[in-house]
Amino acid sequence: MKVGIIGAGPAGLYFALRMKRRNPGHEIVIVEQNPPDATFGFGVVFSDQALEKVRQADPEFYRALDSRMERWRDLTIVQKDERVPVDGNGFAAIGRLGLLQLLQGLCGEAGVTIEFDAHVQSLERFEDRDLIVAADGVNSMVRELHAEAFRPHIGYLTNWFAWYGTHQVFDTLTLTFRSNGDGAFVAHHYRYSPGMSTFIVELDAATWERAGLEAMSDDERHAYCEQVFAPDLGGHGLIANHSVWRRFPVVRNEHWTHENIVLMGDALRTVHFSIGSGTRFALEDAIALDEAFAEASGDVPAALALFENRRRPLAEKLEGAAANSYNWYEDIGQRTGYGAYDLAYDYMTRSGRMSDARLRETAPRFATAYDERRAARD
């Protein structure tokens, strides 16, 4: 097969790697608009459950990935300076650039051609391809070229967020809630290397307006957030890397494929950073699409139909949980008065996927501590 892939993010790279390893005779070309060492954001995080799916599907890649990751067992919620540990939540993280470089190297070893600094405005150069994979991100050029076929729906949440990093190293994935006279803030932070952490700052629309952040420069917003989260940064500052303040775009498509074109990753759908990871979905898309081609013996229409029919129900279920999660964050201003354990319980059950019974099974230490405080209060 001749395969053309637009976008050298995790989805495009990992699909290329799997296809080339399965059949070295495939001619696979990836075009990417950025240079090989460009990345946005800092680290990306995976749950143990997500990594187990990768391990089962691809033990070789899992071993290479696992050796580069930071790991921890618990989740921590910080509210009013009280730290609440929640057991039963294994996670791991890696720098986004490190993940991309790992995949770039493996693709190169396998014989995949990657063209960087390639600005593609049309699909003309891929006219001879049997398959075209649009893994070109949230602002997908391919999706927009064929919008009538894919029928995308793009909306925006009301909260504002920015993706920072810091040299402050955290023991676990942590959610820190802070408030001041302007309103409510939350930081999602975790280490992704021995000396670096991701630090995503999020705030609701009312806080954005009261704090006057709209009128501030990026440097002023940066300094403002350092002040809000100074108790958590241990004397370290926040580090910017294309840390643009924006509202999260919710992308969905009525159709995933068109002729010999398929959408993957953020071009297909966005997954809010509060539940799982868009990177997790990208890797799982790649696994599912590769397995569909293996089962369909390279028949492109059959493989694309199989990919969508099998992947869509699971993806939509997780998208529903993600919607419950981001809607919970949209209301963070209403939760500033919660006690730390009440907030942690509310957070853990926010998506609708974690019942009280399941929470007690998976996080028994937290559940016991929560019950003790509730009994003392009552």
Q: What is the mean pLDDT of residues 334-348?
A: 93
**pTM of the complete model:** 0.94
Any domain includes 69 = no
For the chain, the average pLDDT equals: 94
At 216-252, the pLDDT tens digits run 999 999 999 999 999 999 999 999 998 999 999 999 9
Q: Give the model's pLDDT for residue 352.
A: 75
At 130-187, the pLDDT tens digits run 999 999 999 999 999 999 999 999 999 999 999 999 999 999 999 999 999 999 999 9
Measure the CA–CA gap between 267 and 252, rounded to whole angstroms: 9
Any domain includes 358 = no
Nearest to 273, CA basis, from 172, 173, 153: 173
Measure the CA–CA gap between 68 and 91, rounded to whole angstroms: 13
For residue 254, the Cα-to-chain-centroid distance in whole angstroms is: 21
Q: What is the mean pLDDT of residues 89-109?
A: 95
Any domain includes 341 = no
Does residue 52 have a pLDDT over 80? yes
- Read off the CATH number of the domain in which 317 is found: 3.50.50.60
Q: Give the model's pLDDT for residue 242.
A: 87
Does residue 274 have a pLDDT over 90? no
Burial of 118 (C-beta count, 10 Å sphere; 0-12/13-18/19+): middle
- H-helix or E-strand spanning residue 50: helix 48-57
Any domain includes 336 = no
Domain that holds residue 30: 2-52+90-157+249-329
Any domain includes 187 = no
At 307-332, the pLDDT tens digits run 999 999 988 888 888 888 899 999 99
User: Which contacts qualify for 185-188: CB closer than 8 Å, 24 or more apart?
Assistant: 185/225, 185/228, 185/229, 185/332, 186/329, 186/332, 187/229, 187/232, 188/273, 188/274
Any domain includes 171 = no
Any domain includes 30 = yes
Phi and psi of 282, rounded to 5°?
A: -60, -45
Any domain includes 146 = yes
Contact of 4 with 132, CB cutoff 8 Å? yes
Q: Domain tally for the chain?
A: 1
